Every structure is written in structure tokens, then in C-alpha cells.
Chains A and B, each alone.
Chain A
């Protein structure tokens, strides 16, 4: 019996420890904010299949450290709590519940990935905790009527698809279009935006659609098929690895269509240079951020500030990784929302201020692209601009495309 009793007391002790560790939820809606700190929660894939994106969680932490070193916000320091979810939705649910119920954060910020965010979408809105600037390009985060506590950040893939469609209609109304896309939600979202953008002309103009699986070793045969279809415009919806192959292969077999490349693969360092700058000449993409490997920004103040920040606060971070610029931008936007709150850090006011951003400019966004939100618009960035690759840099052209205004 001694052992049973010992085991029992152990269980009781564990149980009691659990009770004392977790503070009781107060009736007030000011949660996670004291006179000296503001708690911000986050999950990121520091391990697992998507761990390459984990650097975003780290650069955000580095940025908040900078904010704290400069005195914090409203006299309070930001206490940024970020957990690893390994890109596994059940783990995200567990970690987010820990953040909300145990750590009692004021807001959840920049949780990464479409499946992880889908898993907590309902929960966040039931708990009425701000679920701000999620790191995913899906369209569903902008639904303030049903999910008033959730807000996206970057332009979504459908919006970008529309940008290319409008350019095709304007410049090449008689073109034959061939499309290569990744066979998943990401690829299909682009496809839908593009086809919606072409409207009635889509059926006539699109002569071939080819898809690939993310696990395929090569897409050479798809490129050959697209060339043989006689397409004069090529809409290339591929992630960096396949974008490199597609650009090279098209160049090698002498296919020279008007080549639209999705923003996902617009990096000079990871796509255009490996594919060959000569082969990449005249590619067209849509941008909303300054591409950090593009030489045209080398003397831009925003870029040099970012490099100085990286060297001081995140020396391990890669300077040719666009994710580090992305995290810097979005952490800055979060800080702006906090400043806008004045001295009222209730969850209601945090959400109200996040939905009240008017023409906010972030240094690493393209000139003229601004953040705008309202209680009926939970998509902060909806503008993009087309750019043509000159062989050494992205050359911006045309006016800034505003998806919100045109819809």
C-alpha cells in the first residue's frame, strides 16, 4: 500500500501544481498587459518540414528586442513568447491554448502556415483574442463578418493571379496562354485568381494547363508540352526549386514566351541567379516588398537600416533570405498597432486599432504600397506592382495594382 499511497500523493501533487501554475482568468478584457509589459504570443515551425520559415519567428523576436531597447511601447516592454509547433496543426492547437490560457497573452501574432492557422481559427474567435497578421497567403483570413478577431497580412495568391491577368488582357489580348502550376491549394489559388481575372476570355485564351506535384523530381516534360501547345504567354506558378528548372528548360529549348513568374519565386539569390541571369531576362513578376537581393536597393535607407538591424540584433540571420525582411516588416506593423492603442491595451482596442490602419508605410514595402485596414477589410496589403527583370534587377513598371479598389 505504501507504493499506492506514494503514487497517489504524487498524482495529487502534480494536479495541485497544475492548478497553482495556471492563474485564474480574470473577468476583465485587459489580459496579458501589466504596467510594465505586454505579452505577445506566436507559434512558428522551428522544426519539421517547414522549418525554413522558422527564421521569421526569430527575426520578429529580434525586432521586439530592438523596440524594448529603445524604451518599449507606452512605457511597457514587449514580452514575446514564441513556441515551436513543427507545422503540425494539433501541436499548434496545444501551443496556442498554452499561450492563451496559461501564459495569458494579449494577442496572438503571425502564427505561420495555412493548416496551423485553420486549426485555431474558430478557437481564437470564440475566445475573442486578437489573431493578428497571420503568415499565410490564403484568402480566408479576410472574413471580418464571421471571424472578426482574425486578420491576414500579405497579399493573397488570388489577388496576385488577378494582377497578371489584367496585364495579359491589356498587353496581349490575343495571346495563347499556357500555365504550369503546383497541384495544391497554393497553385490552385493562383489559378483561380488568374482565370477570374481573365473572365470570359479565359476559355479562349488558355490553351494548356500543366500541373506538377511538389514531390516530382523534374518538370521538363511539362515545359516541352507547353512549348508544343503554341502558347505565347507562360504563367509560371512554381516554388523556387521548380522555377529554376522551368526558366532553364524554357531557355534551353528555345521557347521565348511572355513569361509571368509568381512572386513566390522572385528572389534573385535563390531563383534567378541559379537559373542564369541571361535566361531570366524579361521575366515578369508582381512585387509588394523590396527584394533584398536586388542591387537597386543597395543604397536605399530602408535596406541599409535593415542590414544594420540584422547585424546588431540577429547576426545569425541570412541577409539574402527574404523571410528576414518579411518578419522585420510585420513586427514593425505590430509595433505601430501597439503605439496606436495609446494606453488602452484591452483586446477590444487592440483589434480596433489593427482594423484602423490608414495608409501606413513600412520601409521594406515598395514605394507607394501602403497598409490599409478597416472593420470590414481585414486584408492589410492588397497592392502589388509589376516588374520586369532587366538581367540584373527588377524594373518596376505600370501603376500600382489595387485589388480592393478594382473589385
Chain B
């Protein structure tokens, strides 16, 4: 069996597990996994920008908040069906992200990180300012979507499948984008933007576009979170959220698509475990986890798995009586 078929099989097996979870887990666990998928979408968005394109953002919590509020306001003020609010949130964040990406072109590395961080700091306060729309610091209470077409699913199960569906579509789109010609251009800009320009890549256009797409992914995640949590408030989107997303993206593995899910699992479950270990200093325990992960897996969880995979292939080749010529490619 060649590597490609093996990969497809692995993905199908994972999908089968993901689809069976709603019938095996309690609603609470399901809610946690739904949040993992929401974070995974946001992290994939951030990963495109930071991992693949080399632009640092400490402000993706802001796009997450914008997506959530666009969805919430449409549902609350205009009674729009939640399903329509998700693409609208994505498109709006695409535009905002693209526009923010234009001036950000002049900033590199740490300077861009700081500029985006200011966005993360400003958005919660701006949300309070437009109280008529956003409900101020009291936020907006939403109702939880129920399963359509008379599907025999409870709201938690339905939201799980909805989020999983959006995740699959966005990951498929993302994978196609990043593995193709566009993806090579994006990575080329990260690795050496002068060389990329010399090759004929329109670096400023690409950089702004990546910013836009990245913001759109994160905005969609935010819109989903509004339905999952059924409540939005400025306190939900403080600057720490942006930092958390960056942590997830680095721990999962920069420039890795599957890493987004692994990173999302980390930011969802590790703080809870840390709290179970020590109530007095959960964030200190979290910090220890963070350092251990970075030390043991410098390329993130996805990077570590890839290394492990290669090593296993090699050992299998060594052990098998008739080594194949094309193995481990």
C-alpha cells in the first residue's frame, strides 16, 4: 500500500471515530470536543498566517470576536438563521483581515505582532462602546440551535456535527490552498521574500490575502463559538484568547494542518488538567506543561508525530526480510 492510500485510510478512520463520538460520549464531553473543533478552525487560520506565511499575529482573538459578534448580532437583532451568519462572518472577517493586512505590510516580525496585539486589546473595549448593538458588557444571550429536518439529534450532538462539517470543509479547502501553487508562493515568501519576488510572486498581494483568509477562518470559528456557547460578551474575548490561539498553533505544530487539531486539544484540555492537579496555581502547572512540550517536541505535536512516523518506517524497512527499494518515500 503506498503512502497516499495509507494517508487516506488514516483520515477515514479518524473521521469514523469523530462521527461515532456523539453516540459514545456524554453531552458535556461532546461540548468540549465541539470547542476543540472551533479552536482548531481558528488555529488553522492563524497557522496559515504564522506557520506558512511567517507573519506573526497576537491579535487573532479580535477576528474571533468579530466573527462571534457578527453572528450574534444577526441572530439577535434580525432573527437571521444561524447557518447564514457563519459565511457572512467569514466574508466580513476576510475583508477586515485583508484591509488590516495592507498597512501591516510595512511591519515585520515583532512589530507586526505588537500591532496585531493592539487589535486584541482594543476590540473588547470597542464592543462595549457600541452598546446598542452589542449589549455592552452584559453581552447578548442567544438560543442554542436545534437539529434541522427532524434529525434525531439533541442540540449538543447537532452542534458537534455542524462544527465537524465546517471543520472538514475548511480543512479540505485549506489543504488544497496550501499544497498547491498558491501554497508554495506563501511558503516562499516566508522563507525568503526577496527570492520569492524575483520568482514573480506578488508578495504584497499574497501577504494581504493570507491575512484576509486567515482572519476569515478565525471569524468562522468565532461565529460557531457564538452558537456553541449561546452567549457573547466582551469578557469572552480578552487579549488572553489571542495568546491562547498562538500557543495552540505553536504547540500543535507551525505549518502543519493536522497540528491545528492537536493544538486545539492542548488549549482545551491542558488548562483543565492543570486545575485538577493544583487548584492553587493552575497557570504555573500549565506553564510547566508548555515548557515540557516545547522542549520535547520542538516542532510541535504534529512535528513529533511526523518524526516518529519516519522512524517507524525506517525500522520496519530494516526489519523486513525483503526490503523494498521505494520504501519510506
A-contact 0/1 string along B186-229, CB 8 Å cutoff: 00000000000000000000000000000000000000010001
Residues in B neighbouring A89, C-beta threshold 8 A:
139, 229, 231-233, 235-236
Residues of chain B lying within 8 A (CB to CB) of residue A97: 27-28, 31
Q: Are B238 and A122 within 8 A (Cβ)? A: no
- The smallest C-beta distance from A19 to any residue of chain B, in angstroms, reads 5
In Å, the complex CA distance between A97 and B34 comes to 13
- Residue-wise, chain B 279-295 has the 8 Å CB interface mask toward A (1 for contact) of 10011000000000000
Given A15-B17, A19-B26, A48-B240, residue A3 in contact with residue B309 (CB < 8 A): yes
CB under 8 Å from chain B, chain A span 1-58: 1-4, 7-8, 11-12, 15-16, 18-19, 22, 46-49
Q: A3-B312, A98-B28 are in contact. Are A88 and B141 (CB under 8 A)?
A: no
> With A18-B26, A118-B141 given, is the CB distance from A90 to B236 under 8 Å?
yes
Instruction: Select from chain A the residue with minimum beta-carbon distance to B18.
Output: A11
The distance in angstroms between the C-alpha atoms of A2 and B316, with both chains bound, is: 10
Asked if B83 is an interface residue, CB under 8 A from chain A, the answer is no
Chain A residue nearest to B13 in the complex (CB): A8
Asked whether, in the complex, the Cβ of B6 is within 8 Å of the Cβ of A4, the reply is yes
Q: Is A101 an interface residue (CB 8 A)?
A: yes
Do B17 and A8 have beta carbons less than 8 Å apart? yes
Q: How large is the interface on B (under 10, 10 to 19, 20 to 34, 35 or more residues)?
A: 35 or more
Distance between B188 CB and nearest chain A CB, rounded to angstroms: 31
Q: Which residue of B lies closest to A8 (CB)?
A: B13
Question: Complex Cα distance A89/B237, Å?
Answer: 9
Given contacts A49-B238, A101-B26, contact A83 B275 (CB under 8 A): yes
Q: Does B10 contact A (CB under 8 A)?
A: yes
Contact of A118 among B17, B139, B283, B316 (CB under 8 A): B139
Cβ distance B40 to chain A, nearest Cβ, rounded Å: 15
A42 CB to closest chain B CB, in angstroms?
12
CB proximity of A20 to chain B, nearest CB, Å: 10
* Chain A hits for B141, CB < 8 A: 118-119, 121-122
Cβ A15 vs Cβ B235 within 8 A: no
CB distance from B125 to the nearest CB of A (A): 7
Q: How far is the CB of A92 from chain B (nearest CB, A)?
A: 9
Do A84 and B26 have beta carbons less than 8 Å apart? Answer: no
Contacts of B29 in A (CB 8 A): 18, 22, 102
Taking a contact as CB atoms under 8 Å apart, the answer to whether B136 and A184 are in contact is yes
Q: In the assembled complex, which residues on chain A have CB atoms less than 8 Å from the CB atom of B146?
A: none
- In the bound complex, how far is the Cα of B312 from the Cα of A8, in angstroms? 17
Given the known interface contacts A22-B29, A47-B283, the answer about A115 and B137 at a Cβ–Cβ threshold of 8 Å is: yes
- Cβ-defined partner of A115 (8 Å) among B35, B235, B279: B235
Nearest B residue (CB) for A19? B24
Q: Is the CB of A115 within 8 A of B229?
A: no
Report the bound CA distance from A153 to B236 in whole Å.
24
Nearest-CB residue, chain A, relative to B16: A8
In the complex, chain B residues 1-39 whose Cβ is within 8 Å of any chain A Cβ:
1, 6, 9-10, 13-14, 17, 20-21, 24-29, 31-32, 35
Kindly identify which residue among A16, A82, A115 contacts B138, using a CB–CB cutoff of 8 Å: A115
A185 touches which one: B21, B137, B282 (CB < 8 A)?
A: B137
Contact between chains at B138 and A114 (CB < 8 Å):
yes
The answer to whether A18 and B25 touch (CB under 8 A), given A90-B236, A97-B31, A119-B231, is yes
Report yes or no: B139 in contact with A84, Cβ–Cβ below 8 A: no
A93 at the interface (CB under 8 A from B): yes
B184 at interface, CB cutoff 8 A: no
Contacts of A47 in B (CB 8 A): 282-283
How many Å lie between the Cα of A86 and that of B238 in the bound state? Answer: 11
Give min CB distance, A51 to chain B, whole Å. 11
Indicate if A407 sits at the interface (CB-CB under 8 A). Answer: no
Q: In the assembly, what is the distance between CA of A161 and CA of B58, in Å?
A: 42
Q: Is A94 an interface residue (CB 8 A)?
A: yes
Smallest CB–CB gap between B118 and chain A, Å? 14
Residue of B nearest to A98 (CB): B28
Please provide the chain A residues from 87 to 122 with a CB less than 8 Å away from any CB of chain B in the complex: 87-90, 93-94, 97-98, 100-102, 113-116, 118-119, 121-122
Decide if A215 touches B125 in the complex (CB within 8 Å).
Answer: yes
Contact B236 A7 (CB under 8 A): no
Which B residue sits closest to A116, measured CB to CB? B235
Q: Which residues of A contact B28 (CB under 8 A)?
A: 22, 97-98, 100-102
Most chain B beta carbons < 10 A, residue from A1, A2, A88: A88
* Nearest CB in chain B: distance from A78 CB, A: 17
How many angstroms from the CA of A48 to the CA of B125 in the assembled complex?
Answer: 16
> Once bound together, how far apart are the Cα atoms of A44 and B141, in whole Å?
21
Complex Cα distance, B240 from A88, in Å, reads 10
**With contact pairs A4-B13, A8-B17, A12-B17 given, residues A93 and B231 touching in the complex (Cβ less than 8 Å):** yes
Contacts of A138 in B (CB 8 A): 138
Query: B260 to chain A: closest CB distance in Å?
Result: 17
Chain A residues positioned under 8 Å from B139 (CB to CB): 89, 115, 118-119
Closest to B28 in A: A101
B229 touches A90 (CB 8 A): yes
Contacting pair A84 B282 (CB below 8 A): yes
Bound-complex Cα distance A299 to B309 (A): 72
Measured in the bound complex, the distance between the Cα atoms of B109 and A204 in whole Å is 58
| A16 lies within 8 A of B238 (CB) | no
Complex contact A4–B312 (CB within 8 A): no
Quick one: closest A residue to B143, CB to CB?
A122
Instruction: List 27 A-B pairs, Cβ < 8 Å.
Output: A1-B9, A2-B312, A2-B316, A4-B9, A7-B13, A16-B24, A18-B26, A46-B282, A48-B238, A49-B235, A49-B238, A89-B139, A89-B235, A90-B35, A90-B231, A90-B236, A93-B230, A102-B28, A115-B139, A115-B235, A118-B139, A119-B231, A119-B233, A121-B141, A122-B141, A138-B138, A184-B137
Chain A to chain B: the 9 pairs with minimum beta-carbon distance, closest first: A101-B28, A119-B231, A22-B26, A115-B233, A4-B10, A11-B17, A115-B235, A18-B29, A97-B28
Q: Residues on A close to B: CB < 8 A?
A: 1-4, 7-8, 11-12, 15-16, 18-19, 22, 46-49, 82-84, 86-90, 93-94, 97-98, 100-102, 113-116, 118-119, 121-123, 138, 184-185, 215
Supplied contacts A89-B235, A90-B236, A102-B26, 4 more A-B pairs, CB within 8 Å: A15-B20, A47-B282, A89-B233, A115-B234
